[in-house]
A and B are shown apart, each in its own frame.
Chain A
Amino acid sequence: MSITPFKMPVIPLIKKQAYLNLYEKGLREDGRRLDKPRNIEVKVGVLDKAEGSALVKLGNTQVLVGVKAEVGQPFKDTPDQGVLVVHAENVPLASPIFEPGPPDENAIELSRVVDRSLREVRAVDLESLVIRPGEKVWNLWVDIYVLDHDGNLFDASMLAVMAALETTTLKDYEELETGEILVKRDSPGAKLKINHRVVTVTTAKIGNYIIVDPNFEEEIIADYRLVLAFDENMRIVGAQKTGSGGMTLKDFKTALKISKEVAQIYFKALEQTPK
C-alpha cells in the first residue's frame, strides 16, 4: 500500500519563501543557477571484490554502486540473453528519513526507473553475456547503495550505475567436462560490452519555477519531480513523474529543454572519468 508521506521533515514556510525569492533572482541557496547541477565527482574501481564499481558524489549526495557478475541460468523466455538485475538500498546510515528494513516504495521506484532506462535501449549488450545458450549466462547484479542522501538520488544513482557498468569486467572461465563453468577469479577478464551510455536528469517544480538537480530540502518543498532518461543520441529512453503534484504541458516542455542541456554535463562527467 502506498501512503501519503506523513513523517517527512517540515520545511518552514518562511524558508520556502526564501528559496522562492532566490529563484526569482535566478539563484539557489548554494549559489547555483536554476538550470545547473551540483558539482559531480565520479570515481570508478573503488571496490576490489566487485567486478565493477563506482562512487558518485553529486553535491553532498553520495551513491556507491557495485556490480557483481556471476554465472547463472537465463530466464526461460530469453535463453540467448544474460540477466541484468538492478536493486537499490536506501541504507539507514544515509539519512534520518531512512529506516532499516526491506526497500520501501522510494527505493523500489529508484531501482525500477534506473533498470528500465538501461533495459529499454539495450544499454548493456545482454546477448554478449551468454556462455551456453539456454543454460549458462552471466548474471549482472547491479546494487545501488545510497550512502548520503542530499537529494536527487535518481541522477546520482544512474551516473554511478553507468560508470560502474562501463568498468565492469567479466572474468575468464573454463567449461569443465561436467558442464560446470569454472570462473577464474584472478584472471584479467574482458570488458563488459556496453551499447549505449544513459543518464537521467531530474528537474523539480517549486512554486512557479523549474529547477534542476534538487537537493533534499528542495525535493521536500517541490510539487513534483520529473526524471528524464537520455542516451548519447539524445533519444528519450525513460521517464517518470514522481511526487504528488500535477504537471502542465508547458512545464513539461520547459523541463525537457533544461534536461537536454544538463544531460550533456552528465555525459561529460562520465566521459572525463579516469578509468
Chain B
Amino acid sequence: MGGGAKATLIREDGLRHDGRRPEELRPIRMQVGVLANASGSAIVEYGKTRVLAAVYGPREPYQRFMVLPDRAILRVRYHMAPFSTSERKSPAPSRREIELSKVIREALEDVVLLSEYPRTAIDVYVEVLQADGGTRVAGVTAASLALADAGVPMKALVAGVAVGKVGGVLVLDVDELEDSHGEADMPVAAAPDIGLVTMFQLNGVLSEDELDRGLSMALTAIEKIVSIEKEALKRKFEAIGEEV
C-alpha cells in the first residue's frame, strides 16, 4: 500500500480524515425487501459504500448435477457494477471478485441451515453499486439480511466490518482512502449470537497485539451491526402488520 498520504489520514486532533473517531463506524443504513422478484433482498450502506443483495431459492438448480444429497448448495456471486468505482470497472469477473465470492460464501455456509433443503441450490447475488471501502463486509451483511428476508432458516445473523491500521492507529470500518493508503486492512465477519467468526482476512502488517485488539474491535462493532440488522427486519414486518 502507498505511504504518501499517511499524515493526513489521522488529523492532529486524533480524528480521522472524515472526522470520525478511530472506533467509530460510518453511518449505516439497511432496508430489506427492496426487490420484487427475489425471494429475499436487502440494501446496505456503510457511508458511501452501497451494496444490494438478493436471494433466489431454495430452488432446483438449472444444472441438475449441481446438487448434494444431504443438503442445499450455496452459490454466491460478489460483483461490482461498472459504475461503482472512480474508473469504470470492467463487468467481467476479476480475480478479486472470484476470491471474494468464495470468502463471502464461506462466511455464510456455517449459519444457513442447508441440511433443511437437500438437492436444492440457494443463490445469493451481491452487487456493489457504489464502492468506498468495505464492500465485501457490507456484502456479507446484505447477504445475511437477504437470506433472512427470504425466510431461509439460519442459526444466526452474520455481519461484517473491516478494521484497518492507518498512521499507526487501529481504526474501524475503513473507507476507500484509508484502505488504499493505510498499513493494514482486516475484513472480519461474524455471527455474534453463536460466537463464530465466519470471515477473516488480513491484508497488511500487524503485530500480534494489534491483531488481537483489531479482532475484538471488529467483534464489538459486528454485535452493533447485527442489532441494526434485526431492526431492519423488524421494520419490514411491522409495516406488514400495520397494513393488515
Contact = CB atoms under 8 A, between A and B. Distances in A.
B104 A2 contact: yes
Given A236-B202, A238-B202, A239-B201, A1 B77 contact: yes
Nearest to A239: B202
A9 to B, nearest CB: 13
Interface residues of A, number: 37
A272 interface: no
Nearest to B78: A2
B66 A3 contact: yes
A19 B194 CA distance: 27
A240 B184 CA distance: 14
B200 A2 contact: no
Contacts of B68: 4, 6
Interface string B106-118: 1001110010000
Contacts of B1: 120
Nearest to B71: A4
Counting chain B CB atoms within 10 Å of each CB, which of A3, A239, A242 scores highest? A3
Contact of A2 (B101, B194, B196, B219): B101
Given A105-B102, A241-B197, A2 B206 contact: no
Majority secondary structure, A binding face? mixed
Given A2-B102, A105-B99, A256 B208 contact: yes
Interface residues of B, number: 46
Contacts of B111: 246
A108 interface: yes
Given A2-B101, A2-B102, A240-B201, A252 B110 contact: no
Interface in B170-229: 184, 186, 190-191, 194-208, 211, 215, 219
A1 B102 CA distance: 8
B28 interface: no
A43 interface: no
Nearest to B105: A2
Contacts of B75: 1-4
A4 B102 CA distance: 9
A252 B197 contact: yes
A6 B66 contact: yes
A223 B198 CA distance: 11
Contact of A120 (B66, B76, B95, B204): B204
B110 A241 contact: no
Contacts of A240: 103, 200-202
Given A4-B75, A105-B102, A241 B191 contact: no
A261 to B, nearest CB: 13
Interface in A202-247: 223-224, 226, 231, 234-247
A112 interface: yes
Contacts of B196: 246-248
A239 to B, nearest CB: 4
A238 B101 contact: no
A27 interface: no
Contacts of B67: 6
A108 B78 CA distance: 15
B131 interface: no
Nearest to A3: B75
Contacts of B98: 2, 105, 108
B211 A120 contact: no
B76 A2 contact: yes
A20 interface: no
Contacts of B104: 2
B137 interface: no
Nearest to A234: B208
11 contacts: A2-B104, A3-B75, A6-B67, A234-B208, A236-B202, A236-B207, A240-B200, A241-B200, A246-B198, A248-B196, A249-B215
Nearest first, the 5 closest Cβ-Cβ pairs linking A and B are: A246-B196, A239-B202, A244-B109, A2-B101, A4-B73
Interface of B: 1-2, 66-68, 73-77, 95-96, 98-99, 101-106, 109-111, 114, 184, 186, 190-191, 194-208, 211, 215, 219
